[in-house]
Amino acid sequence: MLTRAAVIAASRFGLGARADEAAALNADPPGWLQRQLAPHAPLPADLAGLPPAKSYAREILQSRVDRRRADAETMKLIAQRLRPVYIEEMTLRTAAMVRSDMPYRERLVAFWSNHFTVSARRPVVAAMTGGFEREAIRPHVTGRFFDMLLAATRHPAMLFFLDNLQSIGPESRAGQRTGRGLNENHARELLELHTVGLDAGYSQADVRALAKILTGWSIGRLQRDPDPGAYRFQPLAHEPGTKTLLGRSFREDGEAEGVAALRFLAGHPATARHIAGKLARHFVADQPPAAVIDRLAKLFRDTDGDLGAMARGLIDLPEAWDEPLGKIRTPQDYVIAALRATGSRIDGPVPVQWLNQLGQPPFGAPSPAGWPDRAADWISPEAALHRVEWATALARRSALSEHPTAIADRTLGAAMSGETRQIVTRAESATEGLALLLASPEFQRR
Amino acid sequence: MFSRRRLLQGIGAAAVTAPIRLGFAAVAMEQRLVVVILRGALDGLAAIVPYGDPDYRQARGSLALEPPGSGDGVLKLDGTFGLHPALQPLLAFYQRGEFLPVQAVATPYRDRSHFDGQDVLENGEPFVSSTATGWLNRVLAELPQDGGRRLGLAVGQNLPLMLRGPVETASWAPSRLPEAPPQFIEKVSLMWRQDPLLGPALLTGLKAQAFSDDVLASDRMQGRGNGYGPKAFAPLAQAAGNLLAAPDGPRIAVLEMGGWDTHAGQGKLAGRLAPNLAGLAEGLASLAAALGPAWRQTVVMAISEFGRTVAPNGTNGTDHGTAGCALVLGGAVQGGRVLSDWPGLAARALYQQRDLRPTLDARALFKGILSDHLRVADAALNQRIFPDSKAAPAVAGLLRA
**Domain segments of chain A as ranges:** 4-17+328-438, 162-266
Q: How would residue A378 be classed by pLDDT, with cut points 50, 70 and 90?
A: very high
Which residues of chain B does A68 touch, with a Cβ-Cβ cutoff of 8 Å?
none
Q: Is the pLDDT of residue B6 over 60?
A: no
Interacting residues of B2 by C-beta distance below 8 A, sequence separation 6+: none
pLDDT of residue B223: 39
pLDDT of residue A286: 96
**B332 to chain A nearest CA, in Å?**
30
Cβ-nearest to B177 among A375, A380, A393:
A393
| Probe site for chain B from A388, A424, A440 (most B CB atoms < 10 A) | A388
Which residues of chain B does A385 touch, with a Cβ-Cβ cutoff of 8 Å?
202, 205-206, 209
pLDDT of residue A375: 93
Q: How would residue B10 be classed by pLDDT, with cut points 50, 70 and 90?
A: very low
Q: What is the mean pLDDT of residues A404-429?
A: 92
pLDDT of residue B97: 98
Q: What is the mean pLDDT of residues A38-56?
A: 95
pLDDT of residue B178: 78
The pLDDT tens digits of the residues spanning A139-175 come to 999 999 999 999 999 999 999 999 999 999 999 999 9
Region of A111 (left: φ > 0; alpha: ψ -120 to 50; beta: rest) is alpha
Q: How would residue B29 be classed by pLDDT, with cut points 50, 70 and 90?
A: confident
Q: What is the mean pLDDT of residues B196-225?
A: 70
Cis ω before B235 (30° cut-off from 0): no
Which residues of chain A does B205 touch, with a Cβ-Cβ cutoff of 8 Å?
380-385
Q: Is the pLDDT of residue B260 over 70?
A: yes
* ipTM given for this complex: 0.87
The pLDDT tens digits of the residues spanning B102-115 come to 999 999 999 999 88
Per-chain mean pLDDT for chain A: 95
Report the sign of the C-alpha dihedral through residues A35, A40, A42, A43, in that order.
positive
Amino acid occupying residue B318:
T
pLDDT of residue A106: 98
A-facing residues of B in 100-139 (CB < 8 A) are 111-116, 128, 132
Higher pLDDT among residues A269 and A401, named by residue: A269
Interacting residues of B13 by C-beta distance below 8 A, sequence separation 6+: none
CB distance from B317 to chain A under 8 Å?
Answer: yes
Task: Please judge whether A385 and B202 are an interchain contact, meaning their C-beta atoms are less than 8 angstroms apart.
Answer: yes
CA distance A234 to A445: 48
Task: Please judge whether A381 and B170 are an interchain contact, meaning their C-beta atoms are less than 8 angstroms apart.
Answer: yes
How many contacts, defined by CB atoms under 8 Å, are there between A and B? Answer: 177
CB A327 within 8 A of CB A446: yes
Do the bridges between strand B324-329 and strand B99-106 make them parallel or antiparallel, or are there none, so unpaired? antiparallel
Cβ-nearest to B206 among A328, A385, A440:
A385
pLDDT of residue B209: 76
| Probe site for chain B from A172, A215, A385 (most B CB atoms < 10 A) | A385
CA distance A132 to A47: 12
Q: How would residue A426 be classed by pLDDT, with cut points 50, 70 and 90?
A: confident
Q: What is the mean pLDDT of residues A88-103?
A: 96
**Length of chain A in terms of residues written:** 446
Q: Is the pLDDT of residue B77 over 60?
A: yes
pLDDT of residue B20: 30
Instruction: Identify the weakest region by mean pLDDT among A221-225, B21-25, B109-113, B200-204.
Output: B21-25
CA distance B53 to B69: 16
Cβ-nearest to A168 among B116, B208, B314:
B314
Give the three-class secondary structure for B152: strand
Cβ-nearest to A181 among B185, B192, B314:
B314
CB A124 within 8 A of CB A82: yes
Q: Is the pLDDT of residue A395 over 60?
A: yes
CB distance from B186 to chain A under 8 Å?
Answer: no
Task: Please judge whether B314 and A384 are an interchain contact, meaning their C-beta atoms are less than 8 angstroms apart.
Answer: no
Task: Please judge whether B39 and A366 are an interchain contact, meaning their C-beta atoms are less than 8 angstroms apart.
Answer: yes
Q: Kindly provide the b/e burial profile for residues A119-135, where b requires at least 16 CB atoms within 10 angstroms of the residue's own CB.
A: bbbbbbbbbbbbbbbbb
Amino acid occupying residue B346:
A
A-facing residues of B in 211-270 (CB < 8 A) are 226-228, 258-259, 261, 263-264, 270
Task: Please judge whether B201 and A167 are an interchain contact, meaning their C-beta atoms are less than 8 angstroms apart.
Answer: no
pLDDT of residue B221: 44
**B155 phi and psi angles, rounded to 5 deg:** -100, 120
CB distance from B16 to chain A under 8 Å?
Answer: no
pLDDT of residue A372: 95
Which residues of chain B does A441 touch, with a Cβ-Cβ cutoff of 8 Å?
191-192, 194-195, 198
Report the sign of the C-alpha dihedral through residues B278, B280, B283, B287, in that order.
negative
Q: Where are the alpha helices (DSSP H) in A116-144?
A: 129-132
Percent of chain A with pLDDT over 70: 100
Which residue, among A258, A227, A234, has the nearest Cα to A168 in the 3D structure?
A234
Burial (0-12, 13-18, 19+ Cβ within 10 Å), A199: exposed
Task: Please judge whether B185 and A390 are an interchain contact, meaning their C-beta atoms are less than 8 angstroms apart.
Answer: no
Cβ-nearest to A204 among B116, B158, B352:
B352
The pLDDT tens digits of the residues spanning B288-298 come to 999 999 999 99
CB B74 within 8 A of CB B68: yes
Q: Is the pLDDT of residue A349 over 90?
A: no
Higher pLDDT among residues B109 and B224, named by residue: B109
Interacting residues of B63 by C-beta distance below 8 A, sequence separation 6+: B46, B266, B268, B312, B316, B318
Q: How would residue B5 be classed by pLDDT, with cut points 50, 70 and 90?
A: very low
Q: What is the mean pLDDT of residues A259-276?
A: 98
CB distance from B177 to chain A under 8 Å?
Answer: yes
Per-chain mean pLDDT for chain B: 88
pLDDT of residue B228: 61
The pLDDT tens digits of the residues spanning B330-348 come to 999 999 999 999 999 999 9
Q: How would residue B222 be classed by pLDDT, with cut points 50, 70 and 90?
A: very low
Q: Where are the alpha helices (DSSP H) in A164-320?
A: 173-178, 185-189, 204-213, 254-266, 269-283, 290-302, 307-316
CB distance from B181 to chain A under 8 Å?
Answer: yes
CB distance from B91 to chain A under 8 Å?
Answer: no
Report the sign of the C-alpha dihedral through residues A431, A433, A436, A442, in that order.
negative
Give the three-class secondary structure for A217: strand
CA distance B386 to A130: 44
CA distance A419 to A411: 16
Percent of chain B with pLDDT over 70: 89
Task: Please judge whether B191 and A439 are an interchain contact, meaning their C-beta atoms are less than 8 angstroms apart.
Answer: yes
Higher pLDDT among residues A58 and A427, named by residue: A58
Task: Please judge whether A376 and B157 are an interchain contact, meaning their C-beta atoms are less than 8 angstroms apart.
Answer: no
pLDDT of residue A107: 98
Report the sign of the C-alpha dihedral through residues B389, B392, B398, B401, in that order.
positive
Q: What is the mean pLDDT of residues A193-221?
A: 97
